[in-house]
Amino acid sequence: MAADDGRATAALDETLKPFQERASEAELRIAKLEALLYNQAGPNSGSEASSSAMKHLQSKLDAVSAECLTEKEKNKKLIIENEKLQYRITHLIRAIKEAESR
């Protein structure tokens, strides 16, 4: 039974080997990119640019959120108005049928 466990582990290791190699290669590429980015931008030069970009994106997000809330309110009012009109139509149809049956 121990031999079967050993073979299963070896088979699993062999199956996972290509994935482990790809993960290691990806980690190396990421480390190289991080080093390149650090060398180009310097240790703190990107923080002002990213802070400005974040503020810009946050302001856009706030504007879109406000617009979305406004549209939701309009939609809610239209739904209520539509329900009232449907109610009136139902009663008008009923009144017409009653008048015709007389």
For residues 47 and 73, give the distance between their C-alpha atoms in angstroms, rounded to a whole number: 38
Share of the chain above pLDDT 70, in %: 86
18 pLDDT more than 60: yes
pLDDT at 1 over 70: no
Average pLDDT over residues 2-21: 77
Instruction: Output the pTM of the full model.
Output: 0.44
Residues whose CB is less than 8 angstroms from the CB of residue 37 and which lie 6 or more positions away in sequence, other chains included: 46
Domain boundaries, given as residue ranges, for the chain: 1-42, 59-101
Count of residues making up the chain: 102
**Crossing angle between the packed helical segments 2-41 and 45-101, to the nearest 10 degrees:** 110
